[in-house]
Structure 1
Amino acid sequence: MVPALAALALGLWGLTRQGTLWRDESVTYQVAHRSLPEIVDLLGGADAVHGLHYLAMHALFGVWDGGLLTLRLPSAVAVAAAAGLVAATGLRLTGRPAVGLVAGLVFAVTPEVQMYAQEGRSYALVCALVALATWQFTGLGPDATPGRWFRYGAVVLTAALLHEFAVLALLAHGVALRFSPAAASRARRCFAVTAAAVAMALAPLAVLSAAQSGQVSWISGPGAREWCEIAGFAALAVVCRWFLARRGGSAAAVGTPALALALLPTAVLQSAAVHQPVYVDRYVLYSHIGLALLVGAALVRAADGAGRVVRGRAARAAAVGAAGLLCAPALLPVSAQMRTPDSRKDDVTAIAAEAARLSAGADAVLFTPARRREWTLSYPGRLAGTADIALAESPAASGTLQGTEVAPGEIGRRLSRARVVVVLADPEGQPLDTTPAERVKRRVLARDFTVCARTDLKGGRVTLYARTVCPPPAAD
């Protein structure tokens, strides 16, 4: 209960993030507000991997359209549930409430977990379902009934339908079962049947999303910083596992299943880079469940050792409190920064507001690249009366995420008739799209227009162009 309440409190702290969105959340928000036929039409061509989440959010917004609270509250509640389940799993594996308590709290205060507790996407929900499946898995002994195996498979399948890379948790559970000396042959057979059933049920989504794999072409693989983070994560997990195995005792039971869950999903996604890079840390957020179990068990085991030196319950409690106070200064700045608009890749809200301000003297708006139309889709009233000069068909009508645009030649002709244009573009230094349409946009703007005003914002740039005379400055 304590880890769940702590995680919920952290999730609710600054949940609206000063009233701002970033682009991925904006996609969730605007797709969830489409009609059911429009959502189904979209999923046939794009974002099928997020389809179940969009449908669930559509239903939730239909009941309560509370804006950012409706968008993010499910994630905050999901992380709270996951923290409670981590605690329950630690208790089940070791029989020690202290291990469950510490593991759940470690999970709750982990910065990356806190980040996605306030994200209007599916990753926290997936994490909660994997936590539930892991708790179920650790209780599936040789006498487990078919009903319990069915419920376990149903939870894993639901997690994978929310995001199919959650199926890698099933792989981690299978590896843990394979290397568990206490596993009975019946349990292994039941697991094999369950895994096969999950794979068969997931196959249609896997086929459909594979046909949409161009949507993840932007993934380039981890940079130097990400590799350091991955290496540090893996090293901490391995060291904790070694410490538990060396010390023995009930806490050592955590080792195999937790280590498999902590390391295997990331390792598999990294291996897939031989074909196509697909690793992004949020896709395997649930690996923090395994790490939290390892760290929690190791900390309790270390405290047991320290208890032989520091005598008395009060003295040990004081030592634990002192350790917590030492950790707080390191975690607090990171936690506070995550609750600001600057914590995400872009600030859709600020970009849309600036575009609206500059559009007061404009007769057209242009997005380059076209996918940056997403910055305004969650705020449709901001640019009312300003023509989207390249748009052929709206996102909902075209069954796409950002709509379709007219042919490059027509874009050039429309721009040639425009007088003042607001342009929403990537920040300076970002790679330029080389499609014919994007080249036409850049060429006509550079040849026929003058920059009148320009604002650089988090993740984006808004520029006012005029063909001859710049309009009066927009009011702040």
Structure 2
Amino acid sequence: MAEIGHLVGQVDIVHGLYYAVMHGVFALFGDSLVTLRLPSVLATAAACGLTALLGARLSHRRAGMGAGFALAVTPAVQEYAQEGRSYAFVLAFMVLATWLLVGALERPGAWRWAWYAGAVLIAALLNWFSLLALVAHGVTVVCLRLDRTRRAGWALAACGAVAGALPMILASRAQASQVAWIRPLGWSTVLGVLITVTIAALCARLPHARVPSSVRKGVPHARVSLAAVALPLCAVPQCGLVLISLVQPLYITRYVLFAYIGLALLIGALLATIAVRLGTHARVLLPVAVPLALLALLPVELGLRAVESRVDDVLTAADVVDHVRGSADGVLYIPAARRDTALVSPHAFTGLRDLALVQGPVESGTLAGTEAGPRAVERAMLSARRIVLVTDPGPRSADSARDRAKQRVLDEHFVRRSDSVERGRRVSVYERREPGRPRPAAQGHPSRR
């Protein structure tokens, strides 16, 4: 745990809580891919179950069941259900927070607001972009025109959650370079958000979305409708991050994955409305709709689970290194972040000297370790006969003086003997050029294994 504390002081403070949780999980069950991914699967399953309960509470049992199934078959949700990242946990805690919000609005109480604030805070510590859902909850509170007691309770809980997450948010500003890779908004992203919000807005006009279930049951103290909760939860985080990205590119679907909770709730209301229209045939709606949805999304679902979907496949790259390392005596990474290939599969790099590294990730408290200066790297490279290079598949952009020195030495003193590009990584073997031998005009095309 001390090493995790050292790490987040340098990088990835936004993932510190997730790292700590997974550290405990690995200590209990061992470090395997199953152990890494199973918590995300369980968190997603919990999120779908809570969404079903929330939909039933806000509208009708059919709406709840439809909402749970809708969230489960959403491609983006399925993608992050199988990945060892924090986003499935954020999804689960935001459903829980929304459930607790509805309970606190129905029957206000200090302990209810405290539980709500705690759920929001945990979600924020896992990924503080989840605070956009807190803004959505604020829109819900305003739209419901509640009494002063309920408004004050939400405001105090919200302030408590934000205050708890604020130190991490402020500290993460010093690590803003970690999101510098995010590209500016494209029209496809904007169009996707517009389509999603439009579908949600249309579903919000349905009777099962607008009329609170408590009203239909004759309970006077709770008038929270599904639309008032779900539409802001779908629209506000996505539109808010789009607007922020006009100034600083930050829009990534996983950052607002929890917005699909709102969409799923509204799709559940749509299914409940269709069930009412079907009358006596309503029992067959879900048994028919779910297989049809799975069948329609089958190409996407299969693609998510295919090996080819791994666009940054460090395991395959490590296998390539393991295959070619016997003839090499050194390894190089451009950029240094590609050293994660060796960190994931260190056995594949046995016998290879890391030519640029002066301090490992653990000692330096970083993800990629600390590299030597350009001149020291050049001297280490010139002492090697054959070098394995792990880099990106496309044209290399040397953003630092160190990487430019690596590339210059390779071009001037080495010849590329083999080249393999495989799902997001390129592994090349370079051999020292004989003195006086002219530099070749071209070094061939990369092969694909």
In the alignment, the residues of structure 2 paired with residue 263 and residue 294 of structure 1 have an alpha-carbon distance, to the nearest angstrom, of 12
- Which letter does structure 2 place at the counterpart of 1:118? Q
- Which letter does structure 1 place at the counterpart of 2:307? P
Residue pair 1:244, 1:255 contacting (<8 A) in 2 also:
no
- Which letter does structure 2 place at the counterpart of 1:361? S
Q: Which residue in 2 is equivalent to 1:423?
A: 389
Q: Which residue in 2 is equivalent to 1:206?
A: 169
In the alignment, the residues of structure 1 paired with residue 369 and residue 350 of structure 2 have an alpha-carbon distance, to the nearest angstrom, of 17
Change in CA separation of 1:97 and 1:151 when aligned onto 2, cut-off 3 Å: same
Which whole-Å deviations, capped at 9, do the CAs of 1:338-378 have from their partners, x for residues lacking one? 11222232111000110121111000000011111112211
Q: Which residue in 2 is equivalent to 1:195?
A: 158
In the alignment, the residues of structure 2 paired with residue 215 and residue 246 of structure 1 have an alpha-carbon distance, to the nearest angstrom, of 40
- Structure of greater relative contact order (alpha carbons < 8 Å, 6+ residues apart): 1
Q: How many residues align?
A: 426
Q: Which residue in 2 is equivalent to 1:116?
A: 80
- Which letter does structure 2 place at the counterpart of 1:332? L
Q: Which of 398, 408, 419 pairs up with 1:454?
A: 419
1:284 and 2:256 are equivalent in the alignment = yes
1:260 and 2:232 are equivalent in the alignment = yes
SS at structure 2 position matched to 1:141 = helix
Measure how far apart 1:247 and its partner are.
7.9
Measure how far apart 1:73 and its partner are.
0.7
1:137 and 2:101 are equivalent in the alignment = yes
Which whole-Å deviations, capped at 9, do the CAs of 1:416-468 have from their partners, x for residues lacking one? 22100010110124x61321111111111111111111111000111011114
In structure 1, stretches of 5+ residues that fail to align are 1-35, 470-475
Change in CA separation of 1:43 and 1:248 when aligned onto 2, cut-off 3 Å: closer
SS at structure 1 position matched to 2:204 = helix
Residue pair 2:190, 2:242 contacting (<8 A) in 1 also:
no
In the alignment, the residues of structure 1 paired with residue 16 and residue 345 of structure 2 have an alpha-carbon distance, to the nearest angstrom, of 22
Measure how far apart 1:279 and its partner are.
1.6
Change in CA separation of 1:44 and 1:283 when aligned onto 2, cut-off 3 Å: same
The correspondence of residues 86-235 of structure 1 with structure 2, limited to 5 A, is 86-94=51-59, 96-141=60-105, 143-181=107-145, 183-235=146-198
The correspondence of residues 23-422 of structure 1 with structure 2, limited to 5 A, is 36-94=1-59, 96-141=60-105, 143-181=107-145, 183-244=146-207, 250=213, 253-307=225-279, 312=280, 315-318=281-284, 320-422=286-388
In the alignment, the residues of structure 2 paired with residue 409 and residue 153 of structure 1 have an alpha-carbon distance, to the nearest angstrom, of 53
In structure 2, stretches of 5+ residues that fail to align are 217-223, 435-448
Residue pair 2:330, 2:353 contacting (<8 A) in 1 also:
yes
Change in CA separation of 1:231 and 1:433 when aligned onto 2, cut-off 3 Å: farther
In the alignment, the residues of structure 1 paired with residue 212 and residue 92 of structure 2 have an alpha-carbon distance, to the nearest angstrom, of 28
Residue pair 1:72, 1:119 contacting (<8 A) in 2 also:
yes
Q: TM-score, length-normalised on structure 2?
A: 0.91
Residue range with higher mean Cα deviation, 226-235 or 190-199: 226-235
Measure how far apart 1:260 and its partner are.
0.6
Which whole-Å deviations, capped at 9, do the CAs of 1:106-153 have from their partners, x for residues lacking one? 111111111111110100001000000111111113642101111111
Residue pair 2:44, 2:88 contacting (<8 A) in 1 also:
yes
Over the aligned positions, Cα root-mean-square deviation in angstroms equals: 2.0
Q: Which residue in 1 is equivalent to 2:442?
A: none
Measure how far apart 1:322 and its partner are.
4.1
Q: Which residue in 1 is equivalent to 2:438?
A: none
In the alignment, the residues of structure 2 paired with residue 106 and residue 174 of structure 1 have an alpha-carbon distance, to the nearest angstrom, of 25
- Which letter does structure 2 place at the counterpart of 1:133? A
Measure how far apart 1:305 and its partner are.
2.4
The correspondence of residues 2-21 of structure 1 with structure 2, limited to 5 A, is none
Measure how far apart 1:200 and its partner are.
1.2
In the alignment, the residues of structure 1 paired with residue 187 and residue 82 of structure 2 have an alpha-carbon distance, to the nearest angstrom, of 26
The percent identity for this pair of structures is: 39
